[in-house]
Amino acid sequence: GGVKMDRSCTWVLVGGAMHAARHMEKLVPLLTQGGDTAIAVELPGLGEDASDPCAATLESHSAAIVAAVDAATTEAVVLMGHSLAGVTISAAAEMRSERVRLCVFLAAETRPGAGWMDTATNPAPAWLGEGLLTQLDGGLMGITEGKIRQLSGIFFAGASPEDIATYGKLLRPQPHYDEAGLVLTKERFGVIPKAYIKTLRDDVNLPVHQDTWIERLGGNVSVQEIDCGHCAFISAPNILADVLLHLKCKSGS
């Protein structure tokens, strides 16, 4: 074909455990003002999705991300996964490696490797022993009754009290992921360019553990740092957007 002059891309944005698509509502307009498209993925059982959260799986969450990739009308697609969504964007990238130009991991877990409890708890975040999270029926992990404001303050540290309250209310219990079926190959996931955004004041995924997740991605990963808490899309959306657009330019998207 001829020379492709269209530099626009589609951003597929996925929040971490318990998060809704609406948690990305500050970031989306900042990414689209230059002509890009942005899709915030509503995962099954979370946000405003009406399906049974107990029926949601790693596979159904990955499929929702794949559906967003398939809906993209631009040639280039960039995936951004926050926290636990590092796992699901990796699964989606494996399935759509020919479409995904870049995977961006924001304070995110990476695979292959052990899960959060075996990776991110030595040292552990100070709040982990305070009973803020509760195992619910159906394998769901929820916020303990009366603890939503405290946990939201940790998640959205650096945001305004209003935003902490607003976005805390949107958190829903997180379905359990069985990772037994997760296969990431060198030929597919392995060849996609990757970037990692470290959140230096993160009290959920401590920077020392983010270093472990960066190492898992291998040598060819662009590492950026933001001096912010766990959820940059709430507490530092302008800085995050600048970093993401810089990464896109570097990747040639």
Q: For the domain that residue 74 is a member of, what is the CATH number?
A: 3.40.50.1820
Asked, for residue 81, whether it belongs to a domain, the answer is yes
Structure tokens at 37: 């498209």
Q: How far is CA 226 from the centre of its chain?
A: 15
Pair 168, 148: CB distance under 8 Å: yes
Rama region for 41: left / alpha / beta (φ>0; ψ in -120 to 50; rest):
beta
CA-wise closest residue to 223 among 48, 72, 104: 104
Q: With respect to residue 166, please indicate whether it lies within any of the assigned structural domains.
A: no
205: tokens are 């995924």
Cα(23)–Cα(27) distance, integer angstroms: 9
Which domain covers residue 181, as residue numbers? Answer: 9-126+177-251
CA trace torsion 164, 170, 173, 176 (10° rounding): -100
Instruction: Report the 10 Å Cβ neighbour count for 11.
Output: 29
In a domain, 150, yes or no: no
Q: CA-to-CA distance for 101 and 78, rounded, in angstroms?
A: 6
pLDDT at 1: 42
The structure tokens listed for 1 are 């074909």
Neighbours of 207 (CB within 10 A): 13
Backbone angles phi, psi at 214, to 5 degrees: -65, -45
Residue 1: CB atoms within 10 A of its CB come to 3
Q: Do the domain assignments include residue 39?
A: yes
Assigned domain for 243 exists: yes
d(CA 200, CA 104): 16
Per-residue pLDDT of the chain (253 residues; tens, 9 = 90+): 444 446 899 999 999 999 999 999 999 999 999 999 999 999 999 999 999 999 999 999 999 999 999 999 999 999 999 999 999 999 999 999 999 999 999 999 999 999 999 999 999 999 999 999 999 999 999 999 999 999 999 999 999 999 999 999 999 999 999 999 999 999 999 999 999 999 999 999 999 999 999 999 998 899 999 999 999 999 999 999 999 999 998 887 5
Residue 60 inside a domain? The answer is yes
Determine the Cα–Cα distance for residues 33 and 129; give it in Å rounded to an integer.
Answer: 42
Residue 131 is assigned to a structural domain of this protein: no
Cβ(84)–Cβ(18) below 8 Å: no
Q: Is residue 155 part of a domain?
A: no
**How many structural domains is the chain composed of?**
1
Instruction: Tell me the two tokens of residue 29.
Output: 């307009």
| Structure confidence at residue 6 (pLDDT) | 60
Interstrand relation of 141-143 and 9-14 (parallel, antiparallel or unpaired): unpaired
